[in-house]
Amino acid sequence: MSDALPTLLARIRDGIATDADRVRARGMVEADSSFPEDVRAVALTLPDEASEDAGALLALLDLDPLDLEPPLFGESDVADDVMAALGLDPALPLADAVAFEAGSVDVAGRVMSEIGAARSIPVTVPTPLPMVANDARGFRWAAVANVTTIRWAAVALAAAALFALILGRGEIGGGEEAEHLVFAQAGDVVVEDLSYAEGVQVAQLEGADGAVILWVDDGDV
């Protein structure tokens, strides 16, 4: 069975198919051996009943035994049992015939009628909105903004970026930057004059790494 048949049947059921579609579907059903003989003989022959026929055929397709899950506790064909109890030939496709006569239950149509909506409303994927407005991650405001607003928003963003850059530049070389001290060595420093007050102790020391240090202890705490 091709995929075209269910599509055609759905269109016929929904009343949006042409008569040519019905004829085409009728031919496909008639040639499809998976349907019962009596169904193939009469289905979709009358345009007035085409919608109900299509629903029933779709129901038959959905009840295809090949698509059903295997039963948990073995098979029980109630229809065959009833036929056997009545002394009739159980080979008759009673279940299929009952399902065909019962037609389909158009749940969607009932719901639509309950809420007052037209049955012909197509359930299709909405047409995509323009790219910017369709971007759910952000910039939805752009969908309602005009071009001038967007341009000035871009300018404002650029200004903010430049401002941040300026602030960054201001911090470079700030007071917390590490000073690199290179100390004069003992042989490089010449102390020419030296005088100090009474009680002050002065000494020329050499640091652990060779730096010359003028040590002054003025006694004041």
Partner 1 sequence: MATCRRLLAIFTLLLAMVVSPLSSPAWADPPQQVVAKSTQATAGKVRLEILVVHGTPTGTVDPRVRDLAPQFAGMNLRGFKVLDSQSLLLGDGQSGSVSLAGGRKLELQLVSRTAQAAKVRIQLMSGAQKKLDTTVSIPRNRAFPVAGPPYEGGRLIVPITARY
166 is a contact residue toward partner 1 (CB under 8 A): yes
Other Cβ atoms closer than 10 A to 99: 18
167 is a contact residue toward partner 1 (CB under 8 A): no
Which region among 78-86, 95-103, 133-141, 184-192 touches partner 1 (by CB under 8 A)?
A: 184-192
216 SS3 class: strand
213 is a contact residue toward partner 1 (CB under 8 A): yes
* Of 33 and 146, CB closest to partner 1: 146
Q: What are phi and psi of 41, to 5 degrees?
A: -75, -35
Query: CA 96, CA 61: separation in Å to the nearest integer?
Result: 11
Other Cβ atoms closer than 10 A to 51: 20
* Of 198, 218, 215, 197, the residue nearest 206 (C-alpha): 215
209 is a contact residue toward partner 1 (CB under 8 A): yes
As measured in angstroms, the least distance from the Cβ of 210 to partner 1 is 8
115 is a contact residue toward partner 1 (CB under 8 A): no
Q: Where are the alpha helices (DSSP H) in 32-144?
A: 37-42, 50-62, 78-85, 94-102, 107-114, 131-134, 141-144
Which region among 21-29, 56-64, 134-142, 158-166 touches partner 1 (by CB under 8 A)?
A: 158-166
As measured in angstroms, the least distance from the Cβ of 168 to partner 1 is 11
Which region among 5-13, 84-92, 126-134, 186-194 touches partner 1 (by CB under 8 A)?
A: 186-194
64 SS3 class: coil
Q: Choose, by CB under 8 A, the member of 148, 171, 174, 186 that binds partner 1.
A: 148
Query: CA 119, CA 127: separation in Å to the nearest integer?
Result: 20
The number of residues that bind partner 1 (CB under 8 A) is 50
Q: Which residues bind partner 1 (CB under 8 A)?
A: 148, 152, 155-156, 158-159, 162-163, 165-166, 169-170, 175-184, 188-197, 200-202, 205, 207-209, 211-221
